[in-house]
Amino acid sequence: MRFSAFLFAMVYGTSRPVYFFFVILSIYFFLVPVSESLAADQSYLDALLKSAREQRLSEDRYWDVLLHYRRHGSGRKSLIDDPRFFLAPDGKTDPVAELEATLKSFFQAEQKDGDHPRCRFVARYAWLKEKLGVDELRLPAPACTEYNNAMERVNPHAAALIFPTTLNNSPASMFGHTLIRIDSKNQNELLSYAATYAADATDTNGLLYAFKGIFGYYHGYYTILPYYEKVAEYSNIEHRDIWEYKLDLTEEEVHRMVMHAWELRDIYSDYYFFDENCSFDLLLLLEAARPSLHLSDVFWDNKARFWVIPIDTIRAVEESGLITKETYRPSQSTRIMAIAVRMKKEDWKVALDVVKGKTSPQVITDMEMAPEEKMKVLDLSADLLQYRYSRKEMTKDDYLKRFLPVLTARSTLGKQDADVYAITPPTPPEQGHLSGRLSLGPGYRTDSFFTEIEWRSAYHDVLDYDEGYTEGAQVNFFNLKGRYYFKEDSLKLQQLRFIDIFSLSPRNTFFKPVSWKVNTGFDRELFRDGTEHLVYRINPGGGFSYKNDIFGISYAMFETDLTFSNALKQNYALGFGGEAGFIKKMTDLWKMSLSAEGIFYEAGDEHHKMKASWANSFKVSTNNSILLSLSREKTFDRYQTEGELLWRMYL
Amino acid sequence: MKKLLVVTVACAVVVFAVGPAFAAMGQGRQNTGCGLGALAWQGKADSTLFQAFQATTNGTFGSQTFGITSGTSDCAQPAKFVSNQRTNEFVVANMDNLAKDIARGQGETLEAFADLLQVPAEQRAEFYQKLQTSFAKIFTSQDVVLANVVDNVATVSAKN
């Protein structure tokens, strides 16, 4: 174009025929190349479209994977809700139109650096290029600086699945998190990147947060962050141990996965805490790495199970044979205990005095003590300071004033053996019992035998075996109990608990957590007329627990109990009381609990209730156990005794 | 008695449900500082209930979807070193753990730091020891920031 304008100017003013000639020439220069290239573009696009149709690429498994298409009625529909993800107006539901629009978009003129569809949809481009043998020279070559820089930084080589275990004292984090770590070659894993899928939430009100999370009011985004940020968050702030599972993916596959994550950058899908959640959506990334994996289908197609728990996705990945090696990354609180158990108890106080600022670290270095013991005291102090600061139990100023002198003193003492605080990894979570539970067996209540059947959707309770789980952290999610009474020949709903959290976090010299519980749902209870009625119950409580060799975990909690039933006077009863007991693993195959509870209902239907329970769980195998329980209860001045023997299967 | 109970329960409900609303909120990823103690809580609230729900719904606060950098824009940059941006980001984000590892003469954060500085494997032991014995020269005060730390490491490791 510039050349023709130049010619035009040069010949302006010369004789007419010459002028004419040059005008025609310049028009030729002006128009022909453009129309010719347009025509060439069109014919090349047509050829590509034809080839794509012949190969039925829009029906290819990988196209489904890249666009997140799922069967929907007779057609297909993408799980992605952001219109910017689709190049065709009806791309969400029309895979053919989307594929053709994608091909067409590659011919778009160059745009602002990074805006071109080839920069935005890198995985689609790479796949179509390979399938159709696209000649890159015949396409515009847009600049994709940001993408290239990101790829250079992340430098994908290998990948690992990352699973932070239950948040301490927050059993609901069973729906915790999984992420994928992208490793580059010959580099410390802390320098890797982590791909994660999360809800973009701004509410800090727990209930609103949960509501919106459950019903899809948040947008979910894929993110890629430095792995050290996630490690800091889980290890140093939330104090969760992390399991890392190396994946058997080739460099090319990992590269594809990162390209797909890039495509999903800033693209939202509605986030559903139960199914379209972090763990489910990460499976889609793994499928983008290797489309022959069908990891997500199990969860999506099985509508009987409408939730996806992270640990179940780990199991699915393990079953696909993708896991080559597992590593345990203990959290800071686990590491603190690993140091403490290697010290004399009287040295604990020395370390705590340093933490509290009562003893100067310099005093430790001058003390008469073996150098190794001094190192332990200062190592424990440093970690405890970090722990307390992360828990906001001390100000930044106090923290800095003590942290740095502790390290300065420590640096003068030399090095310990690398494995002096070695931690034996516990049973990995995927080797624990499965999270669903079916129980069946006979029982006796007051004067009638019954058969009980119980179904728990998820996840773990204090009498289940703790291998792979956090000891003392109970979450029973949707627990349904039915009974058939022989004497009355009647089938009755005994219990339907929507949620039953019982979180025992033992206190010790270093950690002072609160234990708490909350449960809600229907229970069948004995009334003053001697008959049983269903009540709806909300029962929160809080207290302390401790752990020792004699009683295992012992606890005491205050609680309030609010029940509703039309069999109650004024239709409700509100009481205050408490519960105490202990849970102990007597042998490897026998776990026992003993508890007593008393509640005084002072509002609504005034009465009181006392209950003592004794339960035993015998392990048969990882996924089978036997429960033997006995309880005696006094309510409305009526006594009731109950015994049960249940076979429990985890599935 | 009845009234007292009702009030108690009402208070409990308020504390559980509304309390978290007062919790500190992080908008996006904050620049939490260039020195020690720059722990990023990222708007994590203290209430157990909130944390439980937060873990449950896997929220992030203000997503930065390809946050492959951590940001050191508000920090004075080191002068002496062949300091690359990634090293600076790493030091800013991990300064407390790095200080701890240097004081102990070993650890994962220190290894990652040496990776970033491309310290050859055979010189690592010496490098770690040098940093440990010079700890007080690297972390000179509680107000030490990125630029000081990286420059001090450069000075210390250059000396024989």
Domain ranges, ordered by start, for chain A: 2-136, 152-329, 335-411, 432-650
Looking at the complex, report in whole angstroms how far the Cα of residue A516 sits from the nearest Cα belonging to chain B.
Answer: 9
Q: What is the pLDDT of residue A383?
A: 96
Per-residue pLDDT averaged across A522-526, rounded?
94
CB within 8 Å: A200 and B17: no
Is residue B41 domain-shared with residue B100, that is, in the same domain? no
Q: What is the pLDDT of residue B40?
A: 65
Binned at pLDDT 50, 70 and 90, residue B108 comes out as very high
Cβ-Cβ contacts under 8 Å, A273 against chain B: 56-58
Q: Is the dihedral of CA A469, A431, A161, B95 positive or negative?
A: positive
For residue A73, pLDDT over 90 is answered with: no
CB within 8 Å: A191 and B47: no
Closest residue in B to A207 (Cα–Cα): B17
Binned at pLDDT 50, 70 and 90, residue A536 comes out as very high
For residue A554, pLDDT over 50 is answered with: yes
Number of domains in chain B: 2
For residue A587, pLDDT over 50 is answered with: yes
CB within 8 Å: B111 and A408: no
User: Which domain covers residue B123, as residue numbers?
Assistant: 85-158
Take residue A339 and report the two structure tokens written for it. 């140091």
Query: From the list B9, B56, B99, which residue is nearest A173 (CB)?
Result: B56
CB within 8 Å: A223 and B66: yes
Range with top average pLDDT, A160-174, A220-234, A335-349, B62-76: A335-349
Of B15, B42, B57, the position where a domain reaches its end is B57
Inter-chain CB pairs, A–B, below 8 Å:
247
The Cα–Cα gap between B72 and B89 comes to 6
Cβ-Cβ contacts under 8 Å, B21 against chain A: 204-205
Cβ-Cβ contacts under 8 Å, A229 against chain B: 40, 67, 70, 93
For residue A147, pLDDT over 60 is answered with: yes
Take residue B104 and report the two structure tokens written for it. 């102990």
Q: What is the pLDDT of residue B58?
A: 56
Interface test with B, best of A190, A223, A570 (most B CBs within 10 A): A190
Closest residue in B to A391 (Cα–Cα): B46
CB within 8 Å: B100 and A218: no
CB within 8 Å: A202 and B53: no
Q: What is the pLDDT of residue A172?
A: 56
Q: What is the pLDDT of residue A204?
A: 67
Interface test with A, best of B3, B16, B57, B145 (most A CBs within 10 A): B57
Per-residue pLDDT averaged across A530-559, rounded?
95
Binned at pLDDT 50, 70 and 90, residue A175 comes out as low
Query: From the list B47, B55, B65, which residue is nearest A176 (CB)?
Result: B55
Range with lowest mean pLDDT among A20-34, A262-276, A355-369, B99-113: A20-34
Binned at pLDDT 50, 70 and 90, residue B69 comes out as confident
Interior angle at CA A477, CA A473 and CA A479, nearest 5:
115
CB within 8 Å: B89 and A392: no
CB within 8 Å: A201 and B57: yes
The Cα–Cα gap between A80 and A135 comes to 30
For residue A183, pLDDT over 50 is answered with: yes
Looking at the complex, report in whole angstroms how far the Cα of residue B120 sits from the nearest Cα belonging to chain A.
Answer: 12
Question: What is the tens place of the pLDDT at every residue in A427-486?
Answer: 999 999 998 999 999 999 988 899 999 999 888 999 999 999 888 889 888 999 999 999
Does residue B53 fall inside a structural domain? yes
Query: From the list B9, B39, B57, which residue is nearest A199 (CB)?
Result: B57
Range with lowest mean pLDDT among A239-248, A268-277, A553-562, B141-150: A268-277
The Cα–Cα gap between A318 and A314 comes to 6
Looking at the complex, report in whole angstroms how far the Cα of residue B137 sits from the nearest Cα belonging to chain A.
Answer: 10
Q: What is the pLDDT of residue A392?
A: 85
Query: From the list B56, B135, B141, which residue is nearest A411 (CB)?
Result: B135
Residue listed under structure tokens 């509002």: A603
Cβ-Cβ contacts under 8 Å, A207 against chain B: 17, 53
CB within 8 Å: A229 and B40: yes
Q: How far apart are the first and last CA of chain A?
A: 72
Per-residue pLDDT averaged across B135-140, rounded?
95
Q: What is the pLDDT of residue A238?
A: 80
Nearest alpha carbon to residue A196 among A218, A213, A180? A180
CB within 8 Å: A204 and B93: no
Q: What is the pLDDT of residue B14?
A: 38
Q: What is the pLDDT of residue B61?
A: 52
Closest residue in B to A560 (Cα–Cα): B9
CB within 8 Å: A603 and B6: yes
Q: What is the pLDDT of residue A6?
A: 40
3-class secondary-structure state, position A581 = strand
Looking at the complex, report in whole angstroms how far the Cα of residue B156 sits from the nearest Cα belonging to chain A.
Answer: 15
Q: What is the pLDDT of residue B84?
A: 83
Q: What is the CATH number of domain A432-650?
A: 2.40.160.40
For residue A154, pLDDT over 80 is answered with: yes
Looking at the complex, report in whole angstroms how far the Cα of residue A330 sits from the nearest Cα belonging to chain B.
Answer: 13
Q: What is the pLDDT of residue A111?
A: 78
Query: From the list A175, A204, A223, which residue is nearest B25 (CB)?
Result: A204
Cβ-Cβ contacts under 8 Å, A540 against chain B: 12, 16
For residue A69, pLDDT over 80 is answered with: yes
CB within 8 Å: A202 and B62: yes
Is residue B90 domain-shared with residue B144, that is, in the same domain? yes
Query: From the list B41, B42, B99, which residue is nearest A407 (CB)?
Result: B99
Residue listed under structure tokens 């500082």: B33
Is residue B101 domain-shared with residue B147, that is, in the same domain? yes
Query: From the list B12, B65, B116, which residue is nearest A191 (CB)?
Result: B116
CB within 8 Å: B132 and A411: yes
Cβ-Cβ contacts under 8 Å, B93 against chain A: 226, 228-229, 232
Binned at pLDDT 50, 70 and 90, residue A7 comes out as very low
Closest residue in B to A235 (Cα–Cα): B97
Does residue B62 fall inside a structural domain? no
For residue A153, pLDDT over 80 is answered with: yes
Looking at the complex, report in whole angstroms how far the Cα of residue A618 sits from the nearest Cα belonging to chain B.
Answer: 30
Is residue B143 domain-shared with residue B91, that is, in the same domain? yes
Cβ-Cβ contacts under 8 Å, B45 against chain A: 204
Per-residue pLDDT averaged across B79-100, rounded?
86
| Helices and strands: H and E segment counts in chain B | 7, 1
Per-residue pLDDT averaged across A350-372, rounded?
93
Q: What is the pLDDT of residue B139?
A: 95
Per-residue pLDDT averaged across B18-45, rounded?
52
Per-residue pLDDT averaged across A377-389, rounded?
95
Per-residue pLDDT averaged across B43-64, rounded?
54
Q: Please provide the average confidence, as pLDDT, over all residues in chain A.
A: 88
Nearest alpha carbon to residue A506 among A557, A547, A465? A547
Model pTM score: 0.86
Does residue B78 fall inside a structural domain? no
The Cα–Cα gap between A178 and A282 comes to 8
The CB-side HSE value for A67 (13 A sphere, CA atoms) comes to 32
CB within 8 Å: B58 and A277: yes
Take residue A578 and report the two structure tokens written for it. 């408490």
Per-residue pLDDT averaged across A255-260, rounded?
96
**pLDDT over 70 percentage in chain A:** 91
For residue B2, pLDDT over 90 is answered with: no
Q: What is the pLDDT of residue B53?
A: 57
pLDDT top residue among A84 and A3: A84
Q: What is the pLDDT of residue A173?
A: 64
**DSSP letter string over A209-252?**
HHHHHHTT-EEEEEEEEEHHHHHIIIIIIS---EEEEEE---HH
Range with lowest mean pLDDT among A27-31, A97-101, A153-157: A27-31
Q: Cβ atoms within 10 A of the Cβ of B126, count?
A: 11
ipTM score here?
A: 0.85
Per-residue pLDDT averaged across A384-393, rounded?
91
Cβ-Cβ contacts under 8 Å, B59 against chain A: 198-201, 209, 213, 218
Is residue B89 domain-shared with residue B153, that is, in the same domain? yes
**pLDDT over 90 percentage in chain A:** 66
pLDDT top residue among A93 and A114: A93
CB within 8 Å: B106 and A418: yes
Regarding beta strands A490-503 and A515-526, do their DSSP bridges make them parallel or antiparallel, or are they unpaired? antiparallel
Is residue B137 domain-shared with residue B92, that is, in the same domain? yes
Q: What is the pLDDT of residue A178?
A: 87
Q: What is the pLDDT of residue B28?
A: 37
Q: What is the pLDDT of residue B12?
A: 45
Q: What is the pLDDT of residue A101?
A: 95
